[in-house]
Amino acid sequence: MLKTEDYSQSGEVVQTDVLDNGLHVQYVYKPDYHKTYAMFTTNFGSIDNSFRLAGDEEFTRVPAGTAHFLEHKLFDKEDYDAFDLFGKTGASANAFTSATQTSYLFSTTDHVAENVDILLSFVQDPYFTDATVEKEKGIIGQEIQMYQDDADWQLYSGILGNLYPTHPLHVDVAGSIDSIATITPDMLKTVHAAFYQPRNMTLTVVGNFDVDAIHNVVQANQAKHDFSQLRELERGVQPDYAADSILPYRMQTLPISRSKAIVGVKGLTEIPDNRDGLRQTFAVRLLLEMIFGDSGAKYLDLYDQGVIDESFFYEFTTGRGFNYITLGGDSADPAQLSETLINVLTDYKDSPDFTPARFEVLKRAAVGKFFASLNSLENIANQLASQSFSSVSPFLIPEVVEGLTFADVQNAAEMLVRSEAISVFHIHAEEEQ
């Protein structure tokens, strides 16, 4: 039976259910929209490189890039391609793999029930052959090479390699040409059976649709499958909050016109999967906005000096077993850029922008940005799906942010900004050497 959760402060209503087979479903009815957006997500990403099912003595290890490879292959069936089925109804389909999740999605203005049925069926009914798997290796190999030629991607991968050299987070989501070469149909079937079981998945539907009708479609679809033989799953990957494995500095040279620098700060403390964790996450994001945001005096000063330009970025990322800050950009002098950013970050207490008054302004702006994001069905679905394996709803964000204090930001900064957690990665332009 559907349960209704009313988030009055966000102005959103979510209807949820957990089916007998463990599948979690969540629906957000938006009558003022013409489009509907659906996302089928499994709690399985690129870091999940080993696992053990109940009854197994040893862990099964899988090659880097397996989650991403499986994402590609699930669209391809014996006598049809899932993209073609969506196309016949006018729907647009896609999929993506992250460090911790894989999502399959579609958007449509019509035939919602038919497309939901297609989505569930093609994801849960795998089909692999030696020939199709070998063909996919060539396609994904080209994708891997494309990322190898992308300097910004190399910059990001480089800092993850510094912060998490012994954790699978540093490995490219797509793997390497060598790692995917070892993937077999049997391996994909084993991984699919382990991670694509309903209790490890969530279906999210947002838009203008008949909730009861779609829920009936979902229940009927799941009744066609036999999940009685599923076994409990144990993940092999462990959290990484250790400082002693961090590589302080690395660099590489690429044929680019302008050098790049990135600073990483590894979280050495777990951010809990609860309301307090959400509070800590937004406290760190407000900290970064206070001292590096483009409305601050320090940003304008660094921009006027030419230390930073439009390429400058900063971000705080959290995930299952990790969290970290990244900030950087393009620079004629990457050493100057990284050194300056570290000094600004570590001296945050002395920043003219780190004040209670600025905090209050940016807190209100953060709440406003969240409400603006609710104008997008895609954003709503993505936020719900990404938080679906968490114990807190993204619709609690306004309440959590409004309850933040300047002291919360100070505490978050003291927890995260630690000299032993900092690392630097540079990419130098060849012509500068």
Phi, psi of 105 (to 5 degrees): -150, 160
Rounded to whole angstroms, how far apart are CA atoms 293 and 283?
14
Distance of alpha carbon 75 from alpha carbon 125, whole angstroms: 10
For residues 323 and 169, is the Cβ–Cβ distance under 8 A? no
Return all residues near 295 (Cβ < 8 A) that are at least 6 apart. Answer: none
DSSP lists the bridge partners of residue 93 as 106
What single DSSP character describes residue 426?
Answer: E
Phi, psi angles (nearest 5°) of residue 54: -55, 125
Report in angstroms the alpha-carbon separations of 37 from 30, 40, 45, 305, 406.
11, 10, 22, 45, 37
d(CA 223, CA 201) in angstroms, rounded, equals 16
**Encoded tokens for 159:** 């800092």
The answer to whether residues 165 and 44 touch, using CB atoms and an 8 Å cutoff, is: no
Distances (CA, A) of 140 to 196, 371, 432: 21, 38, 33
User: DSSP letter string over 27-43?
Assistant: EEE-TT-S-EEEEEEES
CB atoms within 10 A of CB 169: 24
Contact 44, 200 (CB under 8 A): yes
Tell me the catalytic residues. 71
